Amino acid sequence: MMDILMYLFETYIHSDVELLVDQDELSDELSRAGFHQDDIYKALTWLEKLAALQDTDDTPYMNDSAVTSIRVYIPQEMARLDVTCRGFLTYLEQIHVLSADTREMVIDRVMELETTEFVLDDLKWIILMVLFNAPGNENAYSQMEDLLYGAEDGYIH
């Protein structure tokens, strides 16, 4: 499913291609690209739920938590997000790329994935997708894009 999400993000969202694509047409295109119909359905549902996070007032993780609060992960989250991933989320909060709300959106989307293998690179893509979808996070999106695409590899003068 991560392959489909990354394909869609790079093809339609990140490349500024027209987003007014019929879901059936999109499914057909993904099938022609070699993706399985069941995985396509799951990926499109995942994206719909990501969009719905912005459209609802009923988001239990949206809160006014104190800046000094600490996120405690439940066992299922710890099984999906290894120490490296959890450390990266904390790092992004510390440098203000993620807020408590966007962090919870990321965790929500990660836990919705049906995968047995989840690595840091996958997490970076999920974070990028969430930040792109969350209004008011343009600067954070840009910073995350730099982290993902390796813009920091150059020399600093």
Task: Quote the pLDDT of residue 155.
Answer: 47
pLDDT for 59 beyond 70: no
Q: Phi and psi of 51, rounded to 5°?
A: -65, -35
- Could you read off the pLDDT of 61-99 as tens digits, one per residue? 455 555 567 889 999 999 999 999 999 999 999 999 999
| Highest mean pLDDT pick, 2-6, 107-111, 138-142 | 107-111
Distance CA 81, CA 110 (A): 8
CB-based burial, 85-111: b 16+ in 10 Å, e otherwise: bbebbeebbeeebbbbbbbbbbbbbbe
Taking the model in full, what pTM does it have? Answer: 0.79
pLDDT for 104 beyond 90: yes
Tell me what percent of the residues of the chain surpass a pLDDT of 70.
Answer: 79
Give 157's pLDDT tier (boundaries 50, 70, 90): very low
